[in-house]
Amino acid sequence: MNKNRRSFIKTGAMSAAGITLIPSMVLGKPLGHVAPSDKVNLACCGIGHRGGEIIRALHETGLANVVALCDVDMGAPHTQRVIEMFPDVPRFQDFRVMFDKMGNQIEAVTVGTPDFSHFPITMHAMALGKHVYVEKPMARTFQEVELMMEGAKKYKVATQMGNQGHSEGNYFQFKAWKDAGIIKDVTAMTAHMNGRRRWHDWDVNMGAYPAGQPKPATMDWDTWLSAIEHHDFHKDFHEGQWRCWFQFGMGALGDWGAHIMDTAHEFLELGLPYEVNPVKLDGHNPFFFPMASTLDFKFPARKDMPACTITWYDGVNNIPAVPDGYGVSELDPNIPPPSTGQLQPARLNPGKIIYGKDLTFKGGSHGSTLSIIPEEAAKDMASKLPEVPESPSNHFANFLKACKGEEKCRSSFEIAGPLSQVFCLGVLAQQMNTKIVFDRETKKVVNNPLANAMLIGPPPRKGWEQYYRV
């Protein structure tokens, strides 16, 4: 082995002694000036749609050798682009087979599969000492996220959740403004995503899962189901449709919350809420997500910071009121204000409004930076704002450099885990249509035994039990 090849011991992974390097011609012309022997050998689970975007973004850093592709349907149209990029890379339909056959050639893994299947792939990879990049949210149940955090500590691997804004402008701005005392004494925040969702045309009186349909001939449906109970194939479980169902996905909150609430959650040190209250659930159904939701997440006082409530809004017409001075670019002057006198936007892009004691901040989603509102307050503060450093690496390069021991993951499971658990508690309140009172110390629901049991969720299917032990 090249003496310059970095040692994975320094990041806590398994010894690199058994790693077989993949020839550079597998990937065609190399990117940048990084020698193949100094790149991370990457296996990719879920190669279509968002999973494919992750693979391409990691490849474009020039820091990865893609050595294995895994997807339950290698014959599907949405997997072909990645297959065409890496035609000579070994392919697998079952991640367990991939690890059995190529484990000693894999150093890191991407997980771009549906929410409910993040957990077993990630646990398997970490137990083998592999670094993991997993799409947001981390997992489907509170207990799965808890086990993933424990696994990351035990196996000492680099972990990154895919809320890429955590490596962009908003991350560095929020931290700099918080450290400088610009963002302080925050008592409330609204977080909103009011776009149309896949389930908004569904019948809210649905009383059962849809009947099965013939599955694609090339698809390994049993592996797609992973640890959850058996369902016959249906088009509304497949591809992006899985996000609609409580059993498979995390709805609008899990999809967008990690891009909107992430920096406030980390830098305000919010941790876990003590209460989640479903203020509004329009079109509640026990199988799929509501037509509109308003959820209050209540967090206690922390250190020198006051108690804080985050109110989440989803649904096309479930738009939060905005303060005076919010701005006119997204407001329709032909719509009269509500009886409260507050302006009401006709359309509001995904984002947030943060209410401090002295200042109010308007923000978007992902890496969008904050602005102080109203404009007069922004002008008064202009000379007092600290310099905001530029990001040293995007989210994908940050992960790969962390695999090499050169950086620390900005959205590691230690950071992203509690955030994902906030979403798990919110989804639980949506599904059960009830207030959740949560003990932050014992990590138990104390007002509803069934809700407490659902933190763990149903038992895994036979053959998948081993992933639920660390």
Return the domain boundaries, the chain.
8-166+396-413, 168-388+421-454
Instruction: Kindly report the average pLDDT of the chain as a whole number.
Output: 90
216 sits in the region (left: phi over 0; alpha: psi -120 to 50; else beta) called beta
Give the separation between CA 189 and CA 181, rounded to whole angstroms: 17
Q: 322, 191 in Cβ contact below 8 A?
A: no
Q: With CA atoms as reference, report the closest residue to 282 among 199, 352, 350, 343.
A: 199
- pLDDT of 1 above 60: no
Give the separation between CA 100 and CA 133, rounded to whole angstroms: 20
On the question of a cis peptide bond just before residue 210, with omega within 30 degrees of 0, the verdict is no
Comparing 36 with 33, which gets the higher pLDDT?
A: 36
Report the pLDDT averaged over residues 188-209: 95
Report the pLDDT averaged over residues 410-424: 98
Q: Assign 280 a pLDDT band (cuts: 50, 70, 90).
A: very high
- pLDDT of 416 above 80: yes
Report the pLDDT averaged over residues 368-374: 95
Report the pLDDT averaged over residues 29-37: 54
Amino acid at residue number 311:
T
Helix (H) or strand (E) holding 191: strand 188-193
Instruction: Look at domain 168-388+421-454 and name its CATH class.
Output: alpha beta
On the question of a cis peptide bond just before residue 216, with omega within 30 degrees of 0, the verdict is no
pLDDT score of 334: 52
Helix (H) or strand (E) holding 190: strand 188-193
Cβ–Cβ contacts within 10 Å for residue 256, how many? 25
Q: What is the DSSP letter of 25?
A: G
286-322 residue pLDDT tens: 999 999 999 999 999 999 999 999 999 999 999 999 9
pLDDT score of 345: 59
Q: 182, 385 in Cβ contact below 8 A?
A: yes
- pLDDT of 23 above 50: no
Q: How is residue 351 written in tokens? A: 């984002």
Comparing 71 with 6, which gets the higher pLDDT?
A: 71
Instruction: Look at domain 8-166+396-413 and name its CATH class.
Output: alpha beta
Identify the sign of the CA torsion 207, 208, 214, 216.
positive
